[in-house]
A and B are shown apart, each in its own frame.
Chain A
Amino acid sequence: MSSWPHWMIMPVVLPLLCGALLILLERNRPAWAPWLSVASLLALVGLSTHLLIAADSGEIGVYLLSNWRAPFGIVLVLDRLSALMLLLSNLLGLACALHALGGDAQRGAHFHALLQFQLMGLNGAFLTGDLFNLFVFFEVLLIASYGLLLHGGGAARLRAAIHYVSFNLAASALFLIAVGLLYGLTGTLNMADLALRVAALEAEQLLLAKSAALLLLVVFSVKAALLPLYFWLPATYASASSSVAALFALMTKVGIYAIARVFTLIFGASAGLMAEPAGSWLAILALATLVLGSLGALAAEHLRGQIAYLLVASAGTLLLAIGLGSPGALAAALSYLPGSTQACAALFLLAGQLSAARGSQADALQAAPFAYGRQRLGLLFFIAAIIVGGLPPLSGFIGKALLLQASQTHALMAWVWAGVLLSSLIVLLALARAGSTLFWASDDAPVPCSGPAPGVAAQLSCYALLALAIASGVLAGPLYRYASASAAQLYAPQAYIDAVLAQDSAPARFDVRKEMREAGLSKGGAQ
C-alpha cells in the first residue's frame, strides 16, 4: 500500500472537516466558502487518483479504525472497485461544486457544507468493510441528499422530498432488520468474516439467512432503482436543482456498488448453500427496468424527467450485468459505468443551462426560442446523447457491446440481446426527438431568461464532464483492463477475506495500560 497508511481514511475525514469548517465560514466569511469547498474537492480528486493507482497494484488495502483488529473493530477496505467508485464520486462532486458556483449555491444556505457531507457519506460507503458501518454511511449520504434535494425550496421539491425521504426511511428500517438477522445468525458484521460464516451456516438456518440476503437486495435496489422500486426517482431527480441532480446521477451507483460488493463477497458463488440467493431474478427485473426506463424516457414531457429515466435505464443495464453473474459481464458493466454516469450528469447540467436560457418554457420538450447559447448547448447535448444512447464511437457503445459479448454463453442470452438492443433503439428515438425539438425546431430570440448566462466555472464543469465521458471511450483499453481486473478481484473473494482478517494492528507507540498502571490509575492500582 502507500507510504502513509492514513491516506485511506482521508476521503472520509477531509470532507467531514471541510464540511464542519464550511458551516462556520458561510456565516463569517461567505466569500471564502466556495473556494474552500472547491479546494477540498480538488484535493479529494487527487487523493482518490493516488488511491486508484495504489489499488491497481492488485493489493487490497486494509485500514483498522482505532487499531482494532478485524472482525472486532471496523475496517476500511480499498480494492479496485472501491477505488474506481471513489474517483468517480469525487470527480462528480467537483463538477457539481463548480457548476453550483454559477448560481445554484446561492439559492439557500449551506450548499457547500451539505455537498461535503454528501461526499463523506459516498466515500465512506465505498470504503467500508463493515455492514453496519455501510448502513451508517448510507444514512450520512441520505441525510445530506435530503438537504441538497430541498436546497432552494419550492412546492415541487417539497412534494418530491416527502416521497424520497419516507421511501428511504422505510428502506433503512429494512436494512436494519437484515443486518440484525445476519448478526443474530452469525454474530459478526464484518463483511469478510460474514462471508466465512454465511458459507458455514447449517441448512436449518438457511431460510432466515436467505430472507436477510433478499432484504438487503431490496434495500440496495431502492437506491439502485430496480424495477418495482424506482418510482420515486424521476420526480425526485427532475425537481432537484441541476447541480444537485448531476451529483445524484451517482446515487443510484451506490446501490449498484453495494449489490456488486455484497452479492459477490458474502452471498457469492463460494457461499455454499447460500450462493446467489436471488437466482436469475435480478437479471430479469433489471431487463424489465431497462426497457421501462427507456420507455419512460420516450414518454417524458420535460428534459430533466427524460434524463432521470435515462438514469433508470442505465441502472438497469448495470444491474443486468451484475445479475448475469459472470466476471466478463461485470467487467463490461464497470467499463460502461463511468462514461454513462458522467454523460448523464453532464446532461443534467445542460438541462439547467437550457432552462435558464429559455425563460418561462424552461426544460419542457417543446420548441421555444433561446435567449443565448442554442448552438453551443445543442452541440454538447448531441455528444452526451451519443454516449448515453450507446452509438459508436463513444464510450456508451463500447460498454454495451462488451455486455452483449459477455452474455453470449448465458441462458438468458436471447432476452439480454433483445432487451439491450431494443432499449438502445428506444433511448435513441427519445433523444433524437428531444434534440430535434429543443434545438432544431427552436430559434434564437431575446426572450426574458430566468437566470444569468452560465459563468466560466459552470461551462467548464460541463465541458470537463463530457471530456471525461469521451476519455472513458478513447481510453477504453486501459479502462477495460482495469474493469476486468476489478471483476476478477470481486469474483475471487478469498483474497479480500484473507487481507482483512490477517491485517495486524499497528505496533503501539506507547502502552496505555502500562502507563495507567504506573500512574496508579488501573483497576488494580485504584483498589
Chain B
Amino acid sequence: MEMMLALAVGTLTGSGVYLMLRARVFDLIVGLTLLSYAVNLFLFLMGRARIGAAPILDGQRAANLAEYADPLPQALVLTAIVISFAMTALMLVLALRTRAETGSDHVDGEEPR
C-alpha cells in the first residue's frame, strides 16, 4: 500500500509541476490543483497509512498509536483542502480577468516573442 500511495504522490507532483511550467494560465491552475492534491495525500500519509483504525478513543482499548489512527494529519489535511480550494477559486477569477484585460492566456499576459 505504501508503494502505491507513494507512486500516487509522485505522479501527482510530477504532473502538477509539468503543467505549471507550461506557462499557460489554465494549465497553471490545473497544475497547482494537482500539486495541492499531492500535498494533501502526502500530509495524510505522514500520519502513517493504516486500515480500519479509528481516530477517536472509545475507552475500550489502550490509548496509544498502535491501536488508533493519528487524527492530527487528518485535521491538517482538512485545513489545507479548505485553503487550496479558496485559492483555486481566486486563481480562476484572476485568470478570467487577465484573459479579458490582456487578451492572452499566457502567464506573462502576452505571447512570447
Report which A residues bind B (CB closer than 8 A).
Answer: 132, 136, 139, 143, 146, 150, 154-155, 158-159, 161-163, 165-166, 169-170, 172-173, 176-177, 179-181, 183-184, 189, 523
Contacts and interface: CB of A to CB of B under 8 A. Distances in A.
Contact of B76 (A161, A163, A179, A523): A179
B5 interface: no
B72 interface: yes
A271 B108 CA distance: 43
B24 to A, nearest CB: 11
Contacts of B73: 180, 183
Interface string B83-98: 1101100110011011
A179 B44 CA distance: 12
Given A166-B20, A166-B91, A159 B98 contact: yes
B42 A158 contact: no
Contact of B101 (A143, A158, A172): A158
Contacts of A146: 90
B109 A159 contact: yes
B29 to A, nearest CB: 8
Contact of A169 (B42, B46, B79, B91): B91
Contacts of B43: 176, 179-180, 183
Nearest to A158: B98
Contact of B107 (A143, A166, A172, A184): A166
A155 B101 contact: yes
Contacts of A169: 32, 36, 84, 87, 91
A183 B72 contact: yes
A155 B94 contact: no
Interface string B13-57: 000000010000100100010011011001101111000000000
Contacts of A523: 59
Contacts of A136: 79, 83
A508 B76 CA distance: 28
Contact of B35 (A132, A170, A184): A170
A442 B31 CA distance: 49
A120 to B, nearest CB: 15
A150 B84 CA distance: 19
B8 interface: no
Contacts of B98: 155, 158-159, 162
Given A143-B86, A162-B25, A173 B101 contact: no
Interface in B59-105: 59, 72-73, 76, 79-80, 83-84, 86-87, 90-91, 94-95, 97-98, 101-102
A146 B87 CA distance: 10
A270 to B, nearest CB: 25
A139 B87 CA distance: 10
B39 A158 contact: no
Contacts, number: 87
Contacts of A180: 39, 42-43, 45-46, 73, 76
A183 B48 CA distance: 11
B94 A176 contact: no
23 contacts: A146-B90, A150-B94, A158-B94, A159-B102, A162-B28, A162-B98, A162-B107, A165-B87, A169-B36, A169-B84, A169-B91, A170-B20, A172-B83, A173-B32, A176-B43, A177-B39, A179-B76, A180-B39, A180-B73, A180-B76, A183-B43, A183-B76, A184-B45
A311 to B, nearest CB: 22
Nearest to B46: A184
3 tightest A-B contacts by CB? A184-B46, A159-B109, A180-B46
Contacts of A173: 32, 35-36, 38-39
Contacts of B47: 183-184
B67 to A, nearest CB: 16
A165 B90 contact: yes
A136 B98 CA distance: 27
Nearest to B79: A136
Contacts of B97: 158
Nearest to B104: A159
Nearest to B38: A173
